[in-house]
Structure 1
Amino acid sequence: MANSDENVFAGKLRGELSRRRFLQGTACTLGAALASAGIYEKIETIAQPPERPAFASSPPTQEQYILQNEQVVTVDGSGVETSNGTTAVRVPALHDHVITATLNVPANAKALQEAQRHLESALMGLEQQFPPTPAGVGITVAWGLPYFHHYIPSLGKTSSFFKAGTLYPTYLPVDLVTSKMEGHTVYALQESRTFPSDQSPPGFGPVRMEQNDMAVLLRSDSLANIMAATKALFGTGSNQAGGLFKVTSIRRGFSGGGFYGLQGLPSKLALAAHLPGAQSIPANAQGFLGFTTTLQSNMGPGIIANLETLPGVTDQWPHGYFRQGTTMQLSHLFQDLATWYEQRFPQYARRVQAMFQPGLSPAPAPGTLTLDPPGQSEADVAHGVERYRAYGHSGSMAQVDSTTSPTTSNYGAAYPAGTTIPVRGDFDTLDNPFYYTSDPTGNHYNEKKAAGLHFIMFQPTIGIFNRVRLAMDGHYSDTTLPVAPRSHGAGINSVLFTTHRQNYLVPPRRHRSFPLAEFLS
């Protein structure tokens, strides 16, 4: 971006911040926040949307978490798209928004079943208007444990899935693997927890374990489409579903924009917001830390992240109520770009080693590296620690987030050993920590822009996420690496600061609206 263009964009940003300060002082902060996307409105003026099919190639799938018609391109070692590239990368939607809420519905069968019909009507209306693709809008509705605990204490009707009188939480999917490991029943959806490297910024307090009833993830190349979906789901008009919810946060962000030889959104927006360390972000980087997060080989293929796809993972095969659903982990983290680029890992090779594994010798030209080394075994990681007193971020997790042997799914798909199971959906943000929060004091809301990450991961069980996250800190089921989890040798941990976390269950599309409410009496 030329300096003059950068100055113009920075001026627009300052004007937008002034407008937001005014809106913060009004009595309709939530209404203003729902109606406006602030600085994120500028994305479509500075990024070229990928050329994608306007409509889905097939009807909406039952897997809510899958964004249909995502492009896959090949890129070279610096992340630039090329016809003879060696690495396959999914091209994410430009805009990502998450809205969390508690319910504004009485906890009785009649009210919940009416709410179920109302929400499903709104969702069906949106699907008739927008296909579930980046060119339309992808909608994922997820439900937290507070919803099930408070609103679905027991089931009053017998069905092909449950007996009348089934109590919470016994109707939830069972995590068979973790249950066997721990010697008692563990469900696929668990409460969120802390991890050894968890640390919030000074003065922020401990990581906040959120208690939202639900969350909606919206993804699209079109901000107008996302705002239309937001209005339909959380507006308060006669044909809108907003009266069902009390919005607790609005989280806005972005990903990519640099796959076509153009300057990526992380670089452009960080420079315009004058974030410390912004000048060091590679120009075409997909994310603030300069690396591509949507490598095809590092994303679960097809429907592998479903509850029921892999044999023996949950009890949802073949006829579970939540079959074709998954679990979702949602976190917010700050990213210390100045420390990452200028203090702790100023050399490009050091950043590569921290992100992947120690000992790698990448080409000297910085870029949004797409290096895809073979997955490390636990023994490989331990050997690296012995030799380098360090381990890499992705290397530490390879044996925990992937199939350990050739596996045939319950649907007949063959997955070779080392096939990634989780699907990432995270995106960068300038929110500090959220675009809007109903609790600005408790959530330490600040108007000052900051480099952040709204981290999203879909996987069959939260138990899988927990094991992956522990491996990121060097903790495995049988050993703990002799590296302090926030030290320079612990991958990227030392530049990440977690503020919020919550786990959710993502039902299949057919049960996305107030799941299980139809069994209340």
Structure 2
Amino acid sequence: MTQRYAPTRRHFLKAAVAVGGTAGLSACLDFAGEVPVPAGVEDPSTLPRRQHAWNDVLETDEHGNHALPKHHIFLYVNLDVDGEPTDSDRQQVADALSVLDRAYERSPAGLIFSVGYSPSYFQRYGSAPEGVDLPQPRALSDFEQPDFDTQDVHIHLASDRADVVMEADEALFGDRETANGVDAVAFPGTVDSRRTGFIEPGMPAEKQDEVDGIPEGTQVPEASKLFMGFNAGFAGNQASEAFITIDDGPFEGGTTKHVSRLHQRLDRWYGDNDHDSMVKKLFGTHQVGDVEGVGNNVGDHSGVVAEDLEALVEQAREHGAVGHAQKMARANRDEEGNVLTLRRHVESTDDGVASLHFPSLQRGISTFEAVREAMNGADITKETPAIRQRVNNGILRYIFVKRRGNFLVPPRELRALPTPDGEAP
């Protein structure tokens, strides 16, 4: 393919994050120049209890939609210990994480991060975390065959600065002696998988020539934050951070996190559909004509509301398709209309493939699984011949789940190797 976009600063920094290691960090530092990184707090105990509460430091657009940091690293880590961690192991983790709190301001200009623990980690103690809905990951449709992330620990690093996420990563795992001038302490674990992500208007357009799955001649819109050409994360379609917080038991103040990695077949997406067809399949049949461009005109709500099966089947028969968000809305609301999940997905070009890292936060993993079941639309296919398992069924024809993992993100005071009963901070 021919190059359509000249390299830019954000393009260069995204590439450096994907490269990783000392070379990538050096490139980031050279590009960052003399702009200082704001320091963190002297006393990490003053930071908010909820690790997942990022919205207070995120920027918002004119509609109140939160903007995630631009650069992300997802670390999947196995502890370097057998059986139950010791108090010494726990203290080392606490010290390593507190370095990041003291080194970087808790903001996109510095670093935002969270630490989660898998069901497999808790099996070191022979039991599940008390009062938490945290099953092992599993396939969530008949047509997917994902690999499962069962590593002990999931660490999510995010910043507007590529040099910060890379430096924090290296400081955590013994490849750097300091983090923003603070002496580092090595995390007692080994990174099994390191994955990178990004989200910023224009970046998918810049990266489209470098990844498989996007046909030559296709123009991902310059204004889009996502490869599929539309923005997402509208505030009115997201759960509040308070709503997804576990509200009782030893892990009160925490949440659960499902993280999937999906490959995208954008040759099909752009080859099959014009703009209206994309809106119909990504949003819903009622939204055709209401979503302009990448969707900035919809404000803080996509316009998709929960509908029962009868209404969905009627619309599917009329329009010959059913929308992705349209299907999920029925499982992603409670009886009072509250949204149940908070999604913080970002794009990726790991391994040269257009892909998506999809973290979903909710009180319990079964909530996410129910939303995914609704996304499959199996009940709609039984009633509507035009809707098949992957044909005219939202965006299922264009995404393929490669990995799934479930994690408990405990409150801050329990983030260092918690026990199932929450008694060992």
> After TM superposition, is the score higher than 0.5?
yes
1:383 Cα deviation (Å)? 2.2
Partner amino acid for 1:326?
T
The match for 2:357 is 454
> Conserved in 2, the CA contact under 8 Å of 1:198 and 1:207?
no
C-alpha change, 1:326 and 1:274, in structure 2 (3 Å) is closer
Once the 2 structures are TM-superposed, how far is the Cα of residue 235 of structure 1 from its aligned partner?
A: 1.9
Partner of 1:425: 344
Take 2:74 and 2:372, find their aligned partners in 1: how far apart are those partners? 22
Residue 497 of structure 1: how far off its partner (Å): 1.0
Instruction: Quote the sequence identity (%).
Output: 22
Contact 2:283–2:304 under 8 Å retained in 1: no
Over 3 Å counting, the alpha-carbon distance change for 1:267 and 1:8 in structure 2 is: closer
- Find the partner of 2:139 among 194, 197, 202: 194
Greater Rg by CA: 1
Offset, 1:271: 3.5
Equivalent-residue separation in structure 1 for 2:187 and 2:294 (angstroms) = 47
The runs of 4+ residues in structure 1 deviating greater than 6 Å are: 53-56
Give the Å deviation of 1:480. Answer: 6.0
The aligned residue for residue 354 of structure 1 is 281
Given that 2:305 and 2:326 are in contact with CA atoms closer than 8 Å, whether structure 1 keeps it comes out as: yes
Q: Does 1:60 align with 2:18?
A: no
Is the 2:61–2:67 Cα contact (8 Å) retained in structure 1? yes
In structure 2, the residue matched to 1:252 is: 196
The Cα RMSD (Å) is 3.4
Offset from partner CA, 1:269-307 (integer Å, 9 cap, x none): 223558624732111101111121221112212311112
Q: 1:350 to 1:495 in 2, by over 3 A?
A: same
Q: Find the aligned partners of 1:275 and 1:39 in 2 and give their Cα distance.
A: 31
Q: Is the Cα–Cα contact under 8 Å of residues 213 and 265 in structure 2 kept in the other structure?
A: no
| Shift in alpha-carbon separation, 1:364–1:287, aligned structure 2, 3 A | closer
Q: Gaps (5+ residues) in structure 1?
A: 21-31, 75-86, 154-167, 175-187, 200-205, 259-263, 309-316, 406-416, 433-448
Distance of 1:265 and 1:479 partners within structure 2:
36
Q: Which residue of 2 aligns with 1:91?
A: 67
Which runs of structure 2 are paired with 1:9-28 in the superposition (5 Å)?
A: none
Shift of 1:4: 8.7
Supply the distance in 2 between the matched residues of 1:491 and 1:73 (Cα, whole angstroms): 27
Q: Which amino acid aligns with 2:59?
A: Q
1:335 aligns with 2:264: yes
Separation in 2, partners of 1:69, 1:211: 30
After TM superposition, the structure 1 stretch with the greater mean CA deviation from structure 2, 503-512 or 273-282, is 273-282
Q: How does 1:285-300 map to 2 (within 5 A)?
A: 285-300=224-239
Give the 3 Å change call, closer, same or farther, for CA 331–133 of structure 1 in structure 2.
Answer: same
Query: Which residue pairs with 1:494 in the alignment?
Result: 397
- SS of the equivalent of 1:494 reads coil
CA–CA distance in structure 2, aligned partners of residues 509 and 324 of structure 1:
8
Structure 1 position 147, deviation (Å): 0.7
In 2, distance between residues paired with 1:41 and 1:244?
Answer: 26
Q: Which residue does 1:367 correspond to in 2?
A: 294
Aligned-pair distance for 1:519?
A: 4.9
> Which amino acid is the alignment partner of residue 270 of structure 2?
Y
> Can you list the C-alpha shifts for 1:204-224, whole angstroms capped at 9, x where unaligned?
xx3112221111001110112
Identify if the C-alpha distance between structure 1 residues 429 and 237 changes in structure 2 by more than 3 Å, giving closer, same or farther: closer
Per the alignment, residue 173 of structure 1 pairs with 131
Distance 2:402 2:100 in 1: 32
The AA in structure 1 aligned to 2:152 is D
Q: CA deviation at 1:360?
A: 3.2
Counterpart for residue 217 of structure 1: 156
Output the CA distance in 1 between the equivalents of 2:112 and 2:239: 18
Aligned pairs for 1:34-433 (under 5 A) are 34-37=21-24, 59-67=46-54, 68-74=56-62, 87-108=63-84, 111-149=85-123, 151-153=124-126, 168-169=127-128, 171-174=129-132, 188-196=133-141, 198-199=143-144, 206-235=145-174, 240-242=184-186, 244-256=188-200, 258=201, 264-271=202-209, 276-277=214-215, 279-308=218-247, 317=248, 320-342=249-271, 344-345=272-273, 347-362=274-289, 366-369=293-296, 371=298, 372-378=302-308, 379-405=310-336, 417=337, 419-432=338-351
Alpha carbons of structure 1 residues 365 and 40: separation in structure 2 relative to 1, 3 Å = farther
Distance 2:46 2:82 in 1: 34
Q: How many residues align?
A: 399
Asked if residue 6 in structure 1 is aligned to residue 41 in structure 2, the reply is no
* TM-aligned CA deviation for residue 420 of structure 1: 1.5
- Matched residue type, 2:347: D
Alpha-carbon spacing, 1:9–1:354, altered in 2? closer, same or farther (3 Å): same
Residues 317-366 of structure 1 show CA distances to partners (whole Å, capped at 9, x for unaligned) of: 2xx21111111111111111111112x21x10100010111243326863
Pair 1:495–1:285, CA change in 2 (3 A): same
Q: CA deviation at 1:107?
A: 2.1
